[in-house]
């Protein structure tokens, strides 16, 4: 996608906020516990490489990504720290991961057998580090039977020239909820797997951001710190109490490119879904759903000169309109997410209006919006 560098619409990322969020969590970790920064999905829309740089400077000792391509992108950016791919990678790509010292998630013995066969046919040089995923209740990937898990562990031990048993982990489905019943069930299931091991691998980890913030007794010796890096509460609004205040790293700004007066009876945008009841001033902002500013945000508001200004009419692919309290000059700043003269719009507020979660909104801000880094 072409980046809109010549248009005044951008995502602004505060590096110091990222560093602060990581440092505060590192302070809370028990001695010997590492923090891996989760930088998948282009750093949750914040920019994978700049986020990784800031997180590492603040104390992160490794990284988690979703797909092998993201891990290779970190290696190409000269990161040498451990990297774990959290999703399932095709077994025929095992040698590529091994050659770049990238650890892969494994959820079945069959995967290990296929990976060994692939590496045997290729110019196998060094063993692949693997983390065995346990499906303790997420229902996504991982072992669901202890007997199958133990068979995979045995296979790894029988093939040390191909595999290193580096880690065991699970992922919680409800760590960000007040009710901990299901969470505790998952903890119990995971612990039953770990108890079967004669010797633990280097990493035993269960904690995403929510778990580390609210259930840190479960941390193991590695934390997969994700959405909280970016200053976003993992629970949205379900749990407001935090061990330290998170600092949001992302803001979204643009400008007024056109301002006009309309009159009673005049309509705005596709479908004529908004009709003025009196004379009013309308400003046009050069962003739309092609940038990730969702069409369903009609009726929400942005900030102009510290004033909340309602989005009127349907949001277009590349533009949307707002009702202004008075005429403003072309070039006047518009804040879609962030602070402006004491007023603020949070990503959580936008998510609540959109009937979604802030994770999704951060990730869908498209690459047509340039990322600009401050501090």
CA distance 199 to 182: 28
Cα angle 72, 74, 76; round to 5: 70
Among 327, 326, 51, 354, residue whose Cα is nearest residue 336: 354
Buried b (16+ CB within 10 A) or exposed e, 36-69: bbbbbbbbbbbbbbbbbbbbbebbbebbbbeebe
What's the burial of 367, exposed, middle or buried (CB within 10 Å: 0-12/13-18/19+)?
Answer: middle
The SS3 call for residue 155 is helix
Strand order across the beta sheet in which 34-38 lies: 203-205, 163-170, 128-134, 102-106, 83-88, 62-65, 34-38, 222-225
What CA–CA distances, in Å, run from 357 to 118, 167, 212, 337, 353? 40, 30, 20, 14, 10
Q: Are 186 and 211 in contact (CB under 8 A)?
A: no
Nearest to 350 by CA among 270, 286, 292: 292
For the annotated catalytic residues, the residue numbers are: 40, 270
- Partnered with residue 308 across adjacent β-strands are 303
Task: Please state, in angstroms and rounded to a whole number, the distance separating the CA atoms of residues 64 and 60.
Answer: 11
């Amino acid at each position: 996608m072409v980046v809109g560098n010549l248009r005044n619409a951008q995502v602004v990322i505060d590096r110091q906020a990222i560093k602060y969020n990581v440092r505060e969590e590192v302070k809370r970790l028990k001695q010997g516990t590492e923090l891996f920064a989760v930088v998948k999905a282009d750093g949750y829309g914040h920019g994978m490489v700049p986020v990784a740089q800031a997180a590492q400077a603040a104390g992160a000792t490794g990284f988690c990504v979703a797909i092998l391509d993201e891990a290779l992108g970190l290696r190409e950016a000269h990161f040498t720290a451990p990297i774990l791919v959290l999703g399932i990678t095709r077994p025929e790509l095992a040698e590529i991961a091994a050659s770049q010292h990238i650890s892969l998630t494994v959820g079945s013995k069959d995967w290990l057998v296929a990976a060994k066969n692939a590496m045997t046919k290729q110019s196998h040089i060094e063993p692949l580090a693997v983390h065995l995923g346990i499906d303790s209740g997420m229902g996504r990937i991982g072992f669901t039977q202890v007997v199958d898990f133990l068979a995979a562990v045995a296979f790894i031990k029988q093939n040390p020239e191909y595999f290193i048993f580096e880690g065991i982990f699970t992922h919680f489905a409800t760590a960000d909820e007040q009710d901990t019943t299901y969470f505790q069930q998952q903890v119990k299931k995971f612990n039953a797997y770990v108890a079967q091991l004669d010797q633990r691998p280097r990493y035993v980890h269960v904690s995403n951001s929510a778990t580390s913030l609210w259930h840190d007794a479960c941390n193991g010796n590695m934390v997969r710190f994700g959405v909280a890096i970016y200053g976003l509460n993992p629970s949205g609004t379900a749990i407001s109490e935090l061990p330290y205040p998170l600092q949001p790293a992302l803001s979204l700004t643009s400008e007024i490119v056109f301002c006009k007066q309309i009159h009673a009876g005049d309509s705005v945008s596709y479908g004529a879904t908004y009709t003025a009841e009196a004379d009013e001033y309308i400003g046009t902002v050069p962003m739309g759903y092609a940038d990730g500013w969702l069409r369903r945000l009609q009726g929400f508001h942005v900030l102009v000169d510290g004033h909340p200004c309602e989005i009127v009419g349907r949001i277009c692919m590349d533009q949307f309109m707002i009702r202004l309290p008075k005429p403003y000059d072309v070039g006047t700043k518009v804040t879609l997410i962030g602070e402006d003269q004491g007023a603020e719009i949070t990503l959580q507020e936008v998510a609540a209006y959109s009937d979604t979660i802030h994770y999704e909104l951060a990730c869908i801000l498209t690459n047509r919006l340039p990322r600009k880094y401050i501090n």
